[in-house]
Structure 1
C-alpha cells in the first residue's frame, strides 16, 4: 500500500528507468511507433471469449546460471517490489541482527496478516526493545482477503503490525539496534542499513542498482532487471551453508507459512517442492529458484495479480517442475452466476 513519505524524505524516485516518463511500465521501451509491445503471457477467457490479456516479460535460467530462454525484455530495470525482501533480510543479518527460524522467515515475508504473523512480529519487536509505534510502515488490514474478513468481523482495525511488511520492518529495527545505528531514520536511503541493502541487492543480482524509489511500505525500493532478480534468487539457494544468504533461503523454505500465509502460492510451492525458494512482489512480480540453480523471474506489465498463478504454473512447467502443486498454483477459474464459465490461462 502506498504511503506518503515524510517531508524530509528524498525525491520518491532517483535514477532513470526507461519508459518511466511516459507512464510505461518499468522495463518497457519508451521508443516511438517501432517499439514492440511485450508478449502476451496470459489471457482472460470467459464463455469461450477472450476478454482481456496480460502482457509481460519472463526469464528462465539453466542450472549453470545462463539464460535458457526469455520472453520480452528481461535486461531493462524494473522494481522487484517485495521480491527484494530476501536480500533485505540478508542485509539485516550482515548488520548483526539475531534472527533465525520463523523470525528470519518473517523478515523476508509479505505475510497474510494471520494471527501467528502479527503475534510473531510483535515478539520480534519486544525482544529487541521496540513497540509497534517504532514501526515506520503504514497501518493496514490483512493482505489475505479471507483473513481480512475475519479480522474486520472481530472488530479490529488497521494496524502497523498487520501490514504485510511488518516482519521486514521489525527485522530492520533489530538490525539497527544490533549495529548501533539510528532507529528513527531507518527508512532513509542514506541510512547505513539501506546502503548495505543496496550493496546486497547489487551483489546478488550481478548488476548495479539502476534506480531507487519508495516501496508501498515506505522502505527504499531498488530497481534491477528480471535476469538480475533470477540470478539473485539463484545465489541464495546456492550460497554456502551458514552464510547470510543461505540462512535466509533456509529459513524461508523451512517456514514458508511465515513468508506468505496458509492460502498463498509461495507457501504451497516451498512446502511441496523440495528446496524451492519463492517470493512474489507487488505489481505482479515473481521469482523462484530451485536447489540445483535453475531459476525464473517474471513481471506482468499491468500488475494483474490474478494472472500470477497461471503464469507461474506454466513457467514452473517450463522449468521442469513436475509436482501436483503446479496445477494448483496455475488454477484461476472465472465464475458467472456462481458457476465456472472460464479461466485466466497462460498462453506462452
Structure 2
C-alpha cells in the first residue's frame, strides 16, 4: 500500500517516474538536544566516463527533472552549431550561458554582452524576473529602490544563449522557448547524446524560467556529467563539450556567485571540478581529481536546496576522496553543520549518515 496510501507521492510512484519514498535513502539528520528532529532522504550515483556505475545510494534509476543541472548541455548546441564562433562569444559569456547566477553586477554586465551580439535586449528575454539570488545584490536593489529586471534572473545567460542559437538556426526569436523551435530541438538532441537516453524517452516540462526542463534517470544525468568530466580531462575526445567545461572552470564566479557552493567548489579545485545545482534538491558534478573522470548526480527527495543538499555534496566528496581535506575544511567554514539559535549558540547539528563501507573501493 505504501506509507502514504492515496497520497500524491504514492500515485507518482506508481507511474513513470518512480518517485516513491523507497527510491531514496534517509541519510541526513537534523538533531536538537541530542535527538533527531527532522531528516532528509537522498538518491545519489557516481558514474565513470564509460558509463559504469561506481557507487550509488537509493535507487539510481529514479527519474528526476534536471532543472538547472542541464545548463551545460543546453549550452552545447551553441558551440556545436558554430553559433558561438559566428558571434565571437567570449569564454566568460559561454560560462554565463551555463550559469544559475546571483544577479551581481558582473553577471548583469556579461548578460548584456551576450544579448548585444545580435542586437537583442532585456525585453527579448522570456525568463521573467526575480530578486537576485545573492543576498547582497538583492539588498542593493532595495536600497536603490529599483525593481529586478530579466537580467537579474539567474537564467538570463541561458536565455541569451538560446536567442543567439535561435537566430543562428533561422528560428523566430519570439518562439525560442517552444519545444518545437530549432533551438529547443537542438538542445534535446544534445542532451540525448550526452545522457545516452533517446530523445523520445526524455520527459519534458516547463522550468521556472519558462524554458523546457528535462526528466531523466538519475544515472543518465550522472552519465552526462561523466562525459563532461572526460572531455575536460581530454578535450580531443569531445572538443565542443570540453569548451563548455573549460568556460565554466575558468570563470567559476560567473557560474554562480559570491559565497555560493558551485563557485566555491570549482575554486577549490581549479580546472578539475564542474559543479552545478538544479532546483528541487538536484546537484551534479563533473570531477577529474580522482583516478578517472567521473560524474556525480544526486537528488534530495523533499526538494531541499540548502542544508541537506550542501551537506550531502560535501560528505560525498569527502568520503570519495575527491577533494583534499584542507579544501573541504575551508568549505565547512562556509557551510557549517552546526545549527545556531538567535543568540548564536549551537543548539543542533546537520549530519550525513553515509553507510560505513559506502564509497570504499570500486565496483
Q: Which runs of 5+ in 2 are unaligned?
A: 1-7, 355-363
- Shift, 1:194, TM fit: 0.5
* Contact 2:93–2:114 (Cα < 8 Å) also in 1: yes
2:45 pairs with one of 59, 77, 85: 59
Partner of 1:331 in structure 2?
336
For residues 107 and 322 of structure 1, the distance between their equivalents in structure 2, rounded to whole angstroms, comes to 27
- Shift in CA distance, 270/194, structure 1 to aligned 2, threshold 3 Å: same
2:147 pairs with one of 139, 147, 157: 157
Greater helix proportion:
2
Task: Give the secondary-structure state (helix, strand or coil) at the position aligned to 1:83.
Answer: helix
Task: Give the secondary-structure state (helix, strand or coil) at the position aligned to 1:258.
Answer: helix
Structure 1 position 77 matched with structure 2 position 77: no
Partner of 1:225 in structure 2?
217
For residues 62 and 114 of structure 1, the distance between their equivalents in structure 2, rounded to whole angstroms, comes to 35
- Shift in CA distance, 235/152, structure 1 to aligned 2, threshold 3 Å: same
Higher relative contact order (CA 8 A, sep 6+): 1
- Shift in CA distance, 37/67, structure 1 to aligned 2, threshold 3 Å: closer
Structure 1 position 91 matched with structure 2 position 92: no
For residues 146 and 28 of structure 2, the distance between their equivalents in structure 1, rounded to whole angstroms, comes to 37
For residues 66 and 37 of structure 1, the distance between their equivalents in structure 2, rounded to whole angstroms, comes to 20
* Contact 2:230–2:294 (Cα < 8 Å) also in 1: no
For residues 220 and 262 of structure 1, the distance between their equivalents in structure 2, rounded to whole angstroms, comes to 27
> Normalization by structure 1: what TM-score?
0.88
Structure 1 position 315 matched with structure 2 position 316: yes
1:248 pairs with one of 227, 244, 248: 244
- Where do 1:152-301 residues align within 5 Å? 152-208=142-198, 209-239=201-231, 240-241=235-236, 243-274=239-270, 275-291=272-288, 292-301=292-301
- Where do 1:100-139 residues align within 5 Å? 100-139=90-129
* Contact 1:95–1:193 (Cα < 8 Å) also in 2: no
* Contact 2:48–2:54 (Cα < 8 Å) also in 1: yes
* Contact 1:112–1:144 (Cα < 8 Å) also in 2: yes
For residues 37 and 213 of structure 1, the distance between their equivalents in structure 2, rounded to whole angstroms, comes to 22
- Shift, 1:223, TM fit: 0.9
Q: Which runs of 5+ in 1 are unaligned?
A: 1-18
- Shift, 1:41, TM fit: 2.4
- Shift in CA distance, 36/77, structure 1 to aligned 2, threshold 3 Å: closer
Deviates more, 1:236-245 or 1:70-79: 236-245
- Shift, 1:50, TM fit: 1.4
- Shift in CA distance, 62/179, structure 1 to aligned 2, threshold 3 Å: closer
Structure 1 position 341 matched with structure 2 position 347: yes
- Shift, 1:116, TM fit: 0.6
* Contact 1:60–1:319 (Cα < 8 Å) also in 2: no
Task: Give the secondary-structure state (helix, strand or coil) at the position aligned to 1:53.
Answer: strand
- Shift in CA distance, 259/288, structure 1 to aligned 2, threshold 3 Å: same
Which portions of structure 1, spanning 4 or more consecutive aligned residues, are displaced by more than 6 angstroms?
Answer: none
- Shift in CA distance, 26/44, structure 1 to aligned 2, threshold 3 Å: farther
- Shift, 1:238, TM fit: 1.6
- Shift, 1:145, TM fit: 2.7
- Shift, 1:318, TM fit: 2.7
Partner of 2:361 in structure 1?
none
For residues 241 and 256 of structure 2, the distance between their equivalents in structure 1, rounded to whole angstroms, comes to 19
* Contact 2:229–2:295 (Cα < 8 Å) also in 1: no
